[in-house]
Amino acid sequence: MAVASLSEPGSLVVGGTRIDLIERGAGRPMLFLHAENGIEPSAAAIAELARYARVIAPTHPGYGRSELPKGMRTIDDVSYFYLDLLDQLDLRDLTIVGVSLGAWIAAEMAVKTTARMARLVMANAVGVKIGDRETRDIVDIFALTEPEYLEITYCDPSVGRRDYKSLPDAEVLAAARAREATARFAWNPFFHNPRLKSRLHRIGIPTQFLWGTHDRMLSEAYGRAYCAMIPNAQFKLIERAGHFPDHEQPKVFAEEVLKFAKAEQGPYRNPT
């Protein structure tokens, strides 16, 4: 694995596919799975988490500079890719932290096997269908203008605003790739896997839902219903944050994650 710096991620080849990967800090391992808007090495949440954990934060296939394996089209595919990564890095006693689409990936991994996992954190998670067929659980973000999108996904939209004309080329390209990759995985069915709901009972490790209260892409009711489908999962709100609490309240977010990760293991230890 190439070494990451604060400004540049390292990289890792998994099954022939090279992805960017940030690795920072020491201690128990923590896999951070970013949301649909991508990740920057300078992300404050990563720095906060790395104070107490060995944070491994890959850039998902198709995002940033990460390659996309041929034929990868679903979050189910991505989950197998990351299970391979866990094997390759021989990660054990792992806390997995996912935000939004990253949480969906985490759930898809955990329903398959939690052998290498100790804990799961799901922040403003997508991935399941809660309402009836005519109720839109998740706002159609592809039908929104950028200002409208920021308005519903942030408590303070200015946090998410970017001036593409002054950003470095690589970041602008990353934004374009993030939009494309997200549509690849989440266009249809929209931000969920209809099969996932019936598998969530398999997640037998302590699970914490974190929820930015100002998220209007998803409702809190959606988050609570999702949480209720994972045995003994806990639900906690993060104030003054929208859909990306790691981005908008990085300190609070990291505190909550670390508090949960460092807690004594509960009765739902990984059975294997």
Partner 1 sequence: MKVYQFTEQPYFPAWDQHSGSLRVNLLNRKCDPRVASDLFHRYYDEWQLADELGLDIMLNEHHQTATCMSSTVVVGLSVLSRITKNARLLVLGYPIGHRPDPLRVAEELSTIDVISRGRLDMGFIKGVPYEFPASNQNPVGVMDRFWEALDFIIKAMTTHDEVFNWEGEYFHYRQVNVWPRVWQEPHPPIWSTTGSTTQARLLGGRGYVMATLGSGYNTRPLYDAYRRGYLAKWGKAPGPDRFAYLGLVGVAKDRDEARRRGDLVAGYLRSSGIVHLPFRNPPGFLSAEDNARLLRGQTPPRSYTKDGRVISMHSASVEDLIAAGILFCGTPDEVYEQIADFCEYCGGMGNLLMMGHAGYLTHEQTVDNLTLFAREVYPRLKAWRQPDAEQVAAQAVAAEKGQPGSMASARAGDLVDAAIGGC
- Site residues for partner 1 per CB under 8 A: 71, 73, 140, 142-145, 164-165, 169, 172-173, 175-177, 179-180, 182-184, 187-188
**Cβ-contact 22, 30 below 8 angstroms:** no
CA dist., res. 65 & res. 203, Å (int): 31
Q: Which is nearer to partner 1, 84 or 140 (CB)?
A: 140
Q: At closest approach, how far in Å is the CB of 223 from partner 1? A: 25
Q: Cα–Cα distance between 111 and 197 in angstroms, integer? A: 10
Q: What DSSP character marks residue 259?
A: H
For residues 76 and 256, which CB has a smaller minimum distance to partner 1 in the complex?
Answer: 76
Strand 29-33 with 10-14, pairing: unpaired
- Decide whether 168 or 271 has the Cβ nearer to partner 1: 168
Nearer to partner 1, 3 or 143 (CB): 143
Only one residue has tokens 């991994």, namely 109
Closest separation between CB of residue 57 and partner 1, Å?
Answer: 21
Nearer to partner 1, 40 or 255 (CB): 40
Task: Report the nearest approach of partner 1 to the CB of residue 211 (Å).
Answer: 26
The SS3 call for residue 236 is strand
Instruction: In angstroms, give the least distance from the CB of 149 to partner 1.
Output: 9
Angle at 37 between CA 147 and CA 96, to 5 degrees: 140
Q: Evaluate whether 24 touches 52 at the Cβ level (below 8 Å).
A: no
From the CB of 52, what's the least distance to partner 1, in Å? 36
Give the whole-angstrom CA distance, residue 57 versus residue 97.
10
- Cβ proximity to partner 1: between 175 and 225 the closer is 175
Distance CA 26, CA 97 (A): 16
Q: How far is the CB of 67 from partner 1 (least distance, A)?
A: 13
Give the DSSP per-residue string, 239-250: TT--S-HHHHSH
CA distance 134 to 225: 17
